[in-house]
């Protein structure tokens, strides 16, 4: 019997999961089984060119929790999330032969490494077929990727993505002028086709890992602590004001948190509070769920829209839509400019950035001597999160005051942030360094002024720097 493979990537949810629904429809149409996998690429465990581990501990923990939650939801539907460590093309082509796959479905990710993974998979499948002529494959194995991480569908935009306005304000105004609205989110599947019965015991397959903690190399103590915490945690419990560093990964937590924030007066105050440095309700904190795909932007928007219907629209709710449009803008920028966004010069004709490794290290460690910057960098390393305003201040300081390479800063954020998102991270770093689409060259945030404006009493600095 044939099977369909569904490969989870940065879309770790069941609700509003178009790619999974297409895989299910394919399997049901042809009476096939469904194998559901997640693959952790060992490249994530390597050191970056800048000298630190690519995926830091907070992001690992958050991802492990997210996979744990997804796995539980799949089990409730009689399915399994099978976890592998290895290069995706190798793991998936090996599995495809073992389970006689007719098709592999996955989310489309418009970033160079992720695109290379899909290309590598297509080539590996071709090669595997050539090398296994006796395999009982009666139909070619196809790979289908589905774009599903933006709020608005690229094809619905009032311009071709290739002609997207370079200035955000124009981009937003063109969308708002035609009244473009996101499509409603899809419901989670109620049933799933069964896993292949010819599936060999997973532990006979190279790279198989028993649990998300083992997959992500989290030591047993942490694993047990987190697992126990997850079991006892009531996912609907609201977080207290100082608890943003305790965010739990996973769809059930992301959905619970989405609705907690959508309670008066928080969204109504968003425009006034969003530039504050700390506090659970100063901004939505939806980003960790959005970045892992535990919740989709359309689900977020539908909940926000329902809030507006019930409590009224205002500047705060409008500004949340505005920020979700920024998120989309950085996604479409990848569709528009691709690999160019990864060049040292970015989209600009500025000279290549300089770099001073010792200064960069002081920045990473929160030891630059500039208190507001050091406090922000220490918060980031301690929690895996810092506010948008702090990200702007510390990024600006690295690029404009320490004259370091923006790509090193982007790599450090990638390592540390629990809400690391390739599109938003790359786009914001380019923007701050004046190498993106911003018409104003370089956005320097003066640390003295930022301190006066956002931490006049020194509370934030005191919290992260001590006395």
Which residue matches tokens 């945030």?
445
Please tell me the distance from the alpha carbon of residue 301 to that of residue 274, in angstroms, as a whole number. 18
- Which residues are CB-neighbours of 349 under 8 A, at least 6 positions away? none
Indicate whether 12 belongs to the interface with ligand FAD (CB under 6 A): no
Query: By CB under 6 A, which span of 42-50, 208-216, 390-398, 450-458 interacts with ligand FAD?
Result: 390-398
Query: By CB under 6 A, which span of 17-25, 47-55, 227-235, 284-292 interacts with ligand FAD?
Result: 284-292
> What end-to-end distance do the CA atoms of the chain give, in Å?
67
CB of 283 to ligand FAD, least distance (A): 3
C-alpha 194: how far from chain center? 29
Indicate whether 149 belongs to the interface with ligand FAD (CB under 6 A): no
Indicate whether 283 belongs to the interface with ligand FAD (CB under 6 A): yes
**Strands 208-209 and 82-85, how do they pair?**
antiparallel
User: Residue 129: in which H helix or E strand, if any?
Assistant: helix 112-131
Q: What angle do CA 45, 51, 56 make, to 5 degrees?
A: 40
Site string for ligand FAD, 285-314 (x = CB under 6 A): xxx--xx-----------------------
Indicate whether 79 belongs to the interface with ligand FAD (CB under 6 A): no
**Within 10 A of 256 (CB to CB), how many other CB atoms are there?**
18
Q: How many residues bind ligand FAD (CB under 6 A)?
A: 29
Instruction: Using the minimum distance from each CB to ligand FAD, give the nearer residue, 123 or 243.
Output: 243
Indicate whether 323 belongs to the interface with ligand FAD (CB under 6 A): yes
CB of 219 to ligand FAD, least distance (A): 26
Which of 19-57 are b and which e, b meaning 16 or more Cβ less than 10 Å from the residue's Cβ?
bbbbbbebbeeeebbbbbbbbbbeebeeeeebeeebbbb
Indicate whether 318 belongs to the interface with ligand FAD (CB under 6 A): no
Indicate whether 320 belongs to the interface with ligand FAD (CB under 6 A): yes
Which of 219-253 are b and which e, b meaning 16 or more Cβ less than 10 Å from the residue's Cβ?
eeeebeebbeebeeeeeeeebeeeebeebbbbbbb
Indicate whether 424 belongs to the interface with ligand FAD (CB under 6 A): yes
Q: Residue from 58, 331, 391, 407 that binds ligand FAD (CB under 6 A)?
A: 391
| Sites of contact with ligand FAD (CB under 6 A) | 274, 283-287, 290-291, 320, 323-324, 326-327, 330, 387-388, 391-392, 395, 413, 417, 419-421, 424-425, 428-429, 432
């Amino acid at each position: 019997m044939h099977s369909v493979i569904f490969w989870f990537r940065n879309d770790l949810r069941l609700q509003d999961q178009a790619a999974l629904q297409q895989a299910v429809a394919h399997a049901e149409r042809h009476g096939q089984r469904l194998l559901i996998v997640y693959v952790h690429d060992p490249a994530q465990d390597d050191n970056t060119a800048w000298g630190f581990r690519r995926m830091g501990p907070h992001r690992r923990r958050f991802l492990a929790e997210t996979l744990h939650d997804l796995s539980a939801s799949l089990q409730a539907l009689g399915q399994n999330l099978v976890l592998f460590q290895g290069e995706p093309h190798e793991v998936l082509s090996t599995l495809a032969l073992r389970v006689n796959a007719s098709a592999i479905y996955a989310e489309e990710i418009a970033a160079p490494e992720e695109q290379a993974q899909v290309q590598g998979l297509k080539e590996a499948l071709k090669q595997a077929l050539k090398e296994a002529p006796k395999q009982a494959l009666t139909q070619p194995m196809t790979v289908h990727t589905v774009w599903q991480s933006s709020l608005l569908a690229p094809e619905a935009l009032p311009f071709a993505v290739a002609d997207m306005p370079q200035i955000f304000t124009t981009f937003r105004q063109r969308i708002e002028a035609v009244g473009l609205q996101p499509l409603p989110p899809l419901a989670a599947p109620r049933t799933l086709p069964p896993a292949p019965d010819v599936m060999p015991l997973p532990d006979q397959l190279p790279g198989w890992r028993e649990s998300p903690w083992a997959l992500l190399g989290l030591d047993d103590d942490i694993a047990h602590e987190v697992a126990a915490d997850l079991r006892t945690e009531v996912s609907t419990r609201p977080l207290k004001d100082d608890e943003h560093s305790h965010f739990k990964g996973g769809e059930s937590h992301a959905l619970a948190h989405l609705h907690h924030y959508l309670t008066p007066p928080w969204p109504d105050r968003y425009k006034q509070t969003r530039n504050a440095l700390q506090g659970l309700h100063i901004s939505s904190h939806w980003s960790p769920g959005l970045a892992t795909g535990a919740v989709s932007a359309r689900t977020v928007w539908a909940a926000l829209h329902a809030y507006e219907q019930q409590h009224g629209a205002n500047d705060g709710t409008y500004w949340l839509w505005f920020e979700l449009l920024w998120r989309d803008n950085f996604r479409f920028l990848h569709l528009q400019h691709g690999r160019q966004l990864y060049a040292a010069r970015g989209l600009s004709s500025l000279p290549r950035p300089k770099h001073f490794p010792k200064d960069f290290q002081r920045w990473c460690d929160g030891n630059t001597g500039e208190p507001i910057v050091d406090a922000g960098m220490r918060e980031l390393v301690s929690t895996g999160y810092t506010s948008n305003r702090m990200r702007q201040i510390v990024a600006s300081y690295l690029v404009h005051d320490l004259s370091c390479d923006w790509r090193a800063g982007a790599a450090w954020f990638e390592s540390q942030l629990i809400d690391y998102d390739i599109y938003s991270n790359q786009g914001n770093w380019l923007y701050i360094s004046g190498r993106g689409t911003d018409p104003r060259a370089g956005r320097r945030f003066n640390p003295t002024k930022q301190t006066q404006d956002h931490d006049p009493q020194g509370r934030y600095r005191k919290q992260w720097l001590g006395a």
